[in-house]
């Protein structure tokens, strides 16, 4: 377990900390435009990584069904726990939604994919599971996540319409369609898209660091620890119950359990920045959950390997 802890710390956590730190330093020095950084992530980086991953992933209908069922069950149960906790703590509407978002929206891309590759040594089957988790999380983030960020009442149909107009939706449809249709794209198209996908980790974490640099820290805010606790502790417990109930085994069970332990998504902070919806609180939840995950993710990996 000590070896696993050190490996994750060295290969995953330290690179994340370094990239976040660079964003922190440059924001303090140059006062970058956070609105522009949010747009860059939402309309350029995220669509690129989604398209290239869906286009290059080998699909299995059976695996997708299990992953989809797991995602629906875990998200529903996690929402129930987070909503109940928010009510027990008597949070107002804004803080409640930020807290719930922090619990539901996980960093399945720039954190989950590297962890998956590390644990399963780049195994294509394990990678395909994490790609599906990332895809479902992105769809959930840019529909439900956007819906709850609306300060003025808006129907879910309107939010869904906004989603299908976003580049991320076209990336989803085209990436999946070209893959299933065995469409061979020329290199002059694939190469720049791969470059965009490769930039996701750096740009997203740089943005997080820049957000952190603008924060006025208040360590007494209970929502930070409430959201982090649900995300990092309750989520893996729920995932384990579902895996056992569905009688899943092997890499599929391990990958789903490990994916549930990822910290809060950077996208939740980016959405809060985009819609000016408690961006400081959202960024603090992301930062704290990412820091604490060095321990919790290691523990979940250890227990997952016993399945």
The residues spanned by each domain of the chain are: 2-304
Give the rounded percent of residues in the chain with a pLDDT score beyond 90.
25
Q: What is the pLDDT of residue 216?
A: 64
The predicted model scores a pTM of: 0.81
pLDDT in tens, 198-232: 887 788 888 878 877 876 666 667 778 889 999 99
Find the angle CA(89)-CA(94)-CA(98) to the nearest 5 degrees: 80
**pLDDT tens digit sequence for 274-285:** 777 777 788 888
Other Cβ atoms less than 10 A from the Cβ of 239: the count is 24
Task: For the chain, list residues with pLDDT below 50.
Answer: none
Q: Which of these CATH numbers, 1.10.340.30, 3.30.43.10, 1.20.1640.10, 1.20.1530.20, describes 2-304? A: 1.20.1530.20
């Amino acid at each position: 377990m000590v070896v696993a802890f050190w490996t994750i710390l060295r290969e995953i956590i330290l690179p994340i900390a370094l990239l976040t730190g660079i964003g922190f330093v440059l924001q303090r020095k140059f006062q970058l435009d956070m609105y522009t950084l949010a747009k860059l992530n939402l309309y350029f980086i995220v669509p690129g990584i989604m398209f290239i991953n869906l286009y290059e992933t080998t699909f299995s209908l059976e695996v997708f069904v299990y992953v989809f069922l797991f995602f629906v069950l875990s998200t529903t149960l996690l929402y129930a726990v987070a909503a109940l906790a928010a009510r027990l703590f008597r949070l107002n509407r804004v803080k409640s939604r930020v807290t719930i978002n922090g619990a539901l929206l996980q960093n399945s891309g720039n954190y989950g994919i590297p962890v998956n590759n590390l644990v399963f040594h780049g195994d294509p089957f394990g990678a395909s599971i994490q790609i599906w988790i990332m895809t479902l999380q992105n769809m959930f983030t840019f529909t439900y996540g956007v819906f709850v960020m609306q300060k003025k009442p808006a129907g879910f149909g309107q939010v869904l319409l906004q989603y299908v107009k976003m580049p991320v939706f076209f990336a989803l449809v085209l990436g999946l369609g070209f893959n299933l249709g065995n469409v061979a794209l020329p290199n002059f198209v694939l190469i720049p898209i791969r470059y965009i996908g490769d930039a996701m980790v750096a740009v997203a974490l740089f943005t997080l660091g820049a957000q952190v640099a603008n924060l006025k820290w208040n360590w007494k805010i209970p929502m930070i620890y409430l959201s982090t606790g649900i995300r990092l502790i309750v989520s893996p417990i729920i995932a384990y119950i579902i895996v056992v109930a569905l009688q899943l085994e092997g890499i599929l069970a391990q990958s789903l359990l490990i994916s549930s332990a990822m910290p809060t998504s950077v996208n939740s902070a980016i959405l809060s920045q985009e819609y000016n919806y408690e961006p400081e609180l959202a960024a603090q939840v992301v930062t704290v959950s990412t820091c604490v995950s060095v321990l919790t993710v290691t523990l979940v990996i250890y227990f997952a390997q016993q399945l």
